[in-house]
Amino acid sequence: MKQIRFIQLGDADALFIYNLANQLNAIQDYFFFDIDPNQVQLDLKSDNGIYNEDQIDTYGASIIRKNYPGEYPISICNVPLRNDLSFSFDNDSAVVSLHNWGVDLSNISKDKLLAFHLVDILLSRRINIPAHNNVRGCPSDHCDHPNDRIVGFNQCEFCSECHSIIRHGIELGTISLKEAVSTFRILDWIAERKRVFVIMPCEMHIIIRIVW
């Protein structure tokens, strides 16, 4: 089981993050989400109110190294990031900003929107899923505008290209089947749908049937 640790930075909503961690643990069994109980003050300089996501990432990474070695940190903050980023990640850590989510995306549940971005983070850190510059309604869309995220959230499914990359990653052993299924289960929770995964015994690929 892969340990994922949420780090609260600044005035991020602690109760919201705690509840999301519990919900994600209830719907899948590959990742275990937990939260650092301390709310860390974001003592960083900004550039006209815009914060450097790399510096924020350093906060989360230092907490993990000290208190939770081996876990994957996701730092949650409520400040604007450079280039209007909503999140940034690599193989070692991630940063998510909730800034203006209640204003620009008031019709979308904040916990499910964060979970939607987590799906991209959790898969893309393991396999090379390219960001799409054109809006496909896919978790891997590069969203320059809040409306782009709304399209992706409403579709709540990987595009055919990303599905192919994920299947190939499973075939190569880059990502485990259980890991991929757990991320799909998060998508299903967001979309409020049920999905049956059928594994063909003679072929290394997944046939996915959606049950509404």
pLDDT of residue 208 exceeding 50, the answer is no
pLDDT of residue 147 exceeding 90, the answer is no
Do 40 and 133 lie in one domain? The reply is no
pTM, to two decimals: 0.84
Domain boundary among 44, 71, 99: 99
Work out the pLDDT band at 179, boundaries 50, 70, 90: very high
Do 43 and 122 lie in one domain? The reply is no
What is the Cα–Cα distance from 131 to 123, expressed in whole angstroms? 12
Do 95 and 114 lie in one domain? The reply is no
Q: Supply the mean pLDDT for the chain.
A: 82
Which pLDDT score, from 0 to 100, does residue 113 have? 84
Which pLDDT score, from 0 to 100, does residue 204 have? 43
Cα-based angle 141, 147, 152 (whole degrees, multiple of 5): 40
Mean pLDDT of 157-171: 91
Which pLDDT score, from 0 to 100, does residue 202 have? 44
Which pLDDT score, from 0 to 100, does residue 152 have? 76
Domain boundary among 39, 67, 99: 99
What is the Cα–Cα distance from 92 to 89, expressed in whole angstroms? 8
Do 90 and 141 lie in one domain? The reply is no
**Number of alpha carbons in the 13 Å side-chain half-sphere of residue 158:** 23
Tally of domains in the chain: 2
Work out the pLDDT band at 107, boundaries 50, 70, 90: low
Containing domain of residue 193, as a range? 103-212
